[in-house]
Structure 1
Amino acid sequence: MRAAVLQDIRDIRVLDIPEPKPLAEDELIIRVKAVGVCGSDLHSYLEGGTTGPTQVRPFVLGHEFSGVLTPDSARKAGFSADALVAVDPSIPCGHCEWCHRGHTNLCPNVKFLGYAPHNGAMAEFVCVPKSAVHVVPDSIDPAGAAILETLGVAIHAMDLARPRLQETVAVLGCGPVGLLLVQLARLAGSGKIIAIDPVEQRTALACDLGADVACRSFAEVGEATEGRGVDLVIEATDSSHGFEHAARCARIGGRVVLVGIPENNQYVLSGAES
């Protein structure tokens, strides 16, 4: 099958690789229909991973995806052969302290599809356990099903943020996660929502989706709030200055939730050496 293989930093190639085969009774084969490109994929491409520059062992990227089960897998799972499915790429061990606590997202033994050394979905087929497969309604298309993983990230961030009714909120970074956070903040009953991104097209879209104010940088938040700052800042950038910028947006006693992964896996202060 054809797959996009990350061979090394800044070196991705479309190659022929063997099709995956189920190694356990509960594993299913999915024909991939749509794949998103996550910020962590970009970190892997630029740095080798999300923990800073590291050596790359070739693997297939892609963890935001949807697809349909192969006929044999559909029969085995008891699903319709043409059913569209979304997939949770995070496969916890189920045995560690964190899994027993119910915090499977923190499992240190997690197998995460599309993150080295585990192949992901930028390929024709991918093998996953049945527990990771979720049939989606007919109203959701393959691209929409692929972004459900991203929506899960945004929902988890909002769960941690616990927005209060009519609080002012700043979303720092208006990529896909940031745009989802804007919509969730509006649904949560937030007051003024400020979208911050240097790309005007992104902040314009954020305003279409529920933001009240568009800012090109964190420095404009003071003017938008008459010097007060906002109650809640949700940072969703890849900037190594993201934490500092988020803190500067917050009012005295405000809250900051970090969602983005900084460049080189480091936060630095303006003017400080990395």
Structure 2
Amino acid sequence: MPLLPEVNGHNGVKVKTSHPNPSIQVTADHQVKMVEAPVEEPGHGQVLLHIKATGICGSDIHFWKTGKIGTLVFEGDCIIGHEAAGIVLKVGEGVEGLQVGDRVAVEPGVPCEKCFLCREGRYNLCEDVQFAGVYPYHGTLQRYKVHPAKWLYKLPDTVSYAEAALLEPLSVVLHGIRTAGLSLGRGALICGAGPIGLIALACARASGAHPIVITDLEPKRLAFAKEFSPGCLTYQVNRSLDAEGNAKEIRKLFGPEGDEYSAPPAVLECTGVENSVVTATFAVRRGGVVCVIGVGKSIMNNLPFMHISLAEIDLRFINRYRDTWPSGIACLSGGILDLKKLVTHTFPLEKAIDALHVCSDLSQGSIKIQIVDDVEASLLS
């Protein structure tokens, strides 16, 4: 692959070109391509990373296939990827607490730290966030990436790069668990057995929730869920039933029909699919909480407003996460969670486009696909 001549990085910093930096970019016209990207020099407060592992997220596929998620629109070429971990190769001026050779997990969102939301500590709601892999901010599906040191977290030796790259989806779930308020000995329903749903299943089990039911349309994913978290109950969504009908069947798994107390007080909706959200509102106990974690379409027209109102169902939503990486690392390093089985496929960086195609094809049976880069990389000279 030919190298680019010396050019300016996206932040105007002069970059070096003596080291190959393959990257995966999505274009505004829904194409995906491998491009040699420039290598930026870390500025004040930044470090240069060698990205060792990046997980493929459903949002990466969505940006590729549709070009947008809500108001987030790809208006030009952009390197995707945001579930990442790597090793520090260079340290810019003003960086404290990190040095060359440190293994780190990447929190991909960099908020403005000036708005009232950032000042309140709700930085996940910052409207001026620079989020890796969302146009125009380049993501982690490249060999080398500059990132602010403040949003990197050192890894203990017991946490691998593959596990560390799962900290981003784990963070989504941790924020959802916190928002839904799961508790010891009280039932929980999880809608969707994709990667987020399965991590939610593991977290719900660790929280002490019981019983736990997880739903999906795909029987293979439900079988994986049973193996991944023995003791959970599964429900295959019945396409011939409406949302209320499926909810009625789901409730039977929690206790006798008509026993409102046995119905789940908390639901983690991990698909964002409108019909699944509606099912969740009928399945949850009156006065319960439905936390929508999944990303759905911009407008949902069929939410049962009066049912939600009369039952005083607390319908909540989350936007990414905040203050979750330290607790996520503690869960992995302390053995509270073991998520390694979720990584069903790995591809080298050079074959990342193949990985995207496998991830987008549900018949391939992948759960979490990661791109790994095991080449020896050094920019010290």
**Pairwise same-fold verdict (TM > 0.5):** yes
2:292 pairs with 1:258: yes
Structure 1 counterpart SS, 2:40? coil
Equivalent position of 2:300 in the other structure? 267
The one-letter code sitting in structure 2 at the alignment partner of 1:224 is: L
2:100 to 74, 81, 94: 81
Superposition misfits of 4+ residues, deviation over 6 angstroms: none
Is contact 1:235-1:246 (8 Å) kept?
Answer: yes
| SS of residue matched to 1:243 | helix
SS in 2 for 1:8: coil
- Conserved in 1, the CA contact under 8 Å of 2:80 and 2:138? yes
Query: Alignment partner for residue 133 of structure 1, among 146, 149, 152?
Result: 152
Q: Which amino acid aligns with 1:15?
A: V
Give the 3 Å change call, closer, same or farther, for CA 75–141 of structure 1 in structure 2: farther
How many Å separate the matches in 1 of 2:74 and 2:138?
16
Instruction: Give the Cα separation in 1 of the matches to 2:97 and 2:74.
Output: 41
d(CA) in 1 for partners of 2:72 and 2:147? 28
Counterpart position of 2:116: 97
Match of 1:34 in 2: 53
Name the structure 1 match of 2:266: 232
Counterparts in 2 of 1:76 and 1:188: CA distance versus 1, 3 Å? closer
Q: Which moved more, 1:67-76 or 1:156-165?
A: 67-76
Alpha-carbon distance between aligned partners in 1 of 2:199 and 2:170, rounded to the nearest angstrom: 7
1:109–1:72 Cα change, 3 Å: closer
Aligned to 1:63, which of 82, 92, 99?
A: 82
Deviations 1:111-136 (A, max 9, x none): 11111110000111111111011110
Aligned to 1:196: 215
Q: Does 1:21 align with 2:46?
A: no
Q: How does 1:132-211 map to 2 (within 5 A)?
A: 132-207=151-226, 208-211=228-231
Q: 2: CA distance between counterparts of 1:27 and 1:18?
A: 16
Q: Choose the corresponding residue for 2:65, options 46, 49, 69.
A: 46
For 1:155 and 1:170, how far apart are their aligned partners in 2? Answer: 16
SS of 2:39's equivalent? coil
Deviation at 1:166, TM superposition (A): 1.6
The answer on 1:221 being equivalent to 2:255 is: no
- Whether the 8 Å contact between 1:74 and 1:81 is mirrored in structure 2 is no
Q: Any gaps of 5 or more consecutive residues in structure 2?
A: 1-20, 238-242, 304-381
Deviates most, 179-188 or 215-224: 215-224
The alpha carbon displacement at 1:69 in A equals: 1.2
3-state secondary structure, aligned to 1:70: strand
> What amino acid is the match of 2:45?
D
Indicate the residue corresponding to 2:351 in structure 1: none
Whichever residue aligns with residue 284 of structure 2, its letter is A
In structure 2, relative to structure 1, the CA distance for the partners of 1:20 and 1:245 (3 Å cut) is farther
Q: State the AA in 2 paired with 1:251.
A: R
Q: Which amino acid aligns with 2:34?
A: V
Instruction: Give the secondary structure class of the aligned counterpart of 1:166.
Output: coil
Q: Which string of whole-angstrom CA distances, capped at 9 and with x for unpartnered residues, describes residues 85-117 of structure 1? A: 101111111111001111111111111111111
Does structure 1 retain, via aligned residues, the 8 Å contact 2:74–2:134? no
Max Rg structure: 2
Pairwise CA RMSD of aligned residues? 2.3
Q: Kindly tell me: are residues 199 and 108 of structure 1, through their superposed partners in 2, closer, same or farther at Cα, counting changes over 3 Å?
A: same
Query: Among residues 117, 120, 124, which one is paired with 2:136 in the alignment?
Result: 117
Q: Aligned-pair distance for 1:215?
A: 0.7
Q: Secondary structure at the match of 2:32?
A: strand
Identity of aligned residues (%): 26
Structure 1 unpaired stretches of 5+:
none
| Number of aligned residues | 268
What is the one-letter code of the residue matched to 2:54? Answer: V
Structure 1 residues 72 and 98, CA gap change in structure 2 (3 angstroms): closer
Letter in 2 for 1:43: H
2-structure distance, mates of 1:199, 1:26 = 46
The TM-score, its normalising length taken from structure 2, stands at: 0.65
Q: Give the Å deviation of 1:18.
A: 1.6
